[in-house]
């Protein structure tokens, strides 16, 4: 696909140990409002939520519900047990469309409490789930880090399907696309060629304490 789709990332730890990064590609051309909600919750750029009075940010959330051979669920930034969260639009918003089907693993879809009740909670499928079609809005997929999702899916859980060890998002954000080739040729003279990738690597701050 030639068009740019927003890409976001979660850095995940389990029981305090780093597990790796999940990168999502959002289907912005299919459901722009739903994708913008997720993207902004990854960056935290919208400030404080109207109904939760908490930062509209996925940083620090846990995957509070994990069902093997089905999905992993997270996104409740205010309470952390599946009862909280809200959208960047204030409270909940309507189902945008059901164009994309739950026909494979590693799809990103909105959790809800019935029709038109989308907030901040989402789930990632680990199997096809056709019974969710027309009920939950699919708005993206896992581009890399499928093994991190699978690791979380396999964690031991309690009777409420909550992992016994917290699977936590320690950092999250949007990945900015590299410059188009056309622009690169123009800017080559101005930019030192010995630092080709410094611009958009969030990895750079890992070494500096």
pLDDT tens, 154-169?
999 999 999 999 999 9
| 181-184, long-range: CB < 8 A, 24+ apart | none
**Positions of the chain with pLDDT under 70:** 1-4, 179-209
Q: What is the C-alpha to C-alpha distance for residues 137 and 43, in angstroms, rounded to an integer?
A: 21
For the question of residue 98 being annotated catalytic, the response is: no
For the sheet containing 7-14, what is the strand order?
65-67, 71-74, 122-125, 107-110, 138-144, 17-26, 7-14, 167-175
For the question of residue 141 being annotated catalytic, the response is: no
Q: What is the mean pLDDT of the chain?
A: 89
Nearest CA among 62, 81, 10, 6 for reference residue 37: 6
Which pLDDT score is estimated for 177? 77
For the question of residue 136 being annotated catalytic, the response is: yes
Listed in sequence order, the residues at least 6 apart from 182 whose beta carbon sits closer than 8 Å to its beta carbon are none
Q: Where are the domains of the chain?
A: 7-206
For the question of residue 112 being annotated catalytic, the response is: yes
* Locus of tokens 């960056």: 43
For the question of residue 73 being annotated catalytic, the response is: yes
C-alpha dihedral, 29 to 33 to 36 to 38, nearest 10°: -110
- CATH code of the region 7-206: 2.40.100.10
For the question of residue 201 being annotated catalytic, the response is: no
List, in sequence order, the alpha helices (H) in 1-116.
Answer: 32-43
Give the three-state DSSP class for 74: strand
User: CB–CB of 21/148 below 8 Å?
Assistant: yes
Active-site hit among 70, 143, 151, 165: 70
Active-site hit among 132, 139, 141, 155: 132
Report residue 195: phi and psi, to 5°: -125, 65
Q: What is the C-alpha to C-alpha distance for residues 116 and 132, in angstroms, rounded to an integer?
A: 14
Nearest CA among 151, 133, 142 for reference residue 68: 151
pTM (2 decimals)? 0.84
């Amino acid at each position: 696909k030639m068009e740019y789709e927003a890409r976001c990332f979660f850095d995940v730890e389990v029981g305090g140990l780093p597990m790796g990064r999940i990168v999502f590609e959002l289907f912005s051309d299919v459901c722009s409002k739903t994708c913008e909600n997720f993207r902004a919750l990854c960056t935290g750029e919208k400030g404080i939520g109207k109904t939760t009075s908490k930062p509209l940010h996925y940083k620090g959330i846990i995957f509070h519900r994990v069902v093997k051979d089905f999905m992993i669920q997270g996104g409740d930034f205010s309470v952390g047990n599946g009862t909280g969260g809200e959208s960047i639009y204030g409270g909940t918003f309507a189902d945008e469309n059901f164009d994309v089907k739950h026909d494979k693993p590693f799809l990103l879809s909105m959790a809800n409490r019935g029709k038109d009740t989308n907030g901040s909670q989402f789930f990632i499928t680990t199997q096809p789930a056709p019974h969710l079609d027309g009920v939950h809005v699919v708005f993206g997929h896992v581009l890399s880090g499928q093994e991190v999702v699978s690791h979380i899916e396999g964690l031991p859980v309690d009777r409420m399907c909550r992992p016994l060890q917290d699977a936590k998002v320690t950092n999250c954000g949007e990945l900015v696309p590299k410059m188009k080739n056309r622009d690169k040729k123009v800017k080559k003279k101005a930019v030192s060629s010995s630092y080709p990738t410094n611009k958009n690597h969030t990895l750079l701050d890992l070494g500096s304490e």
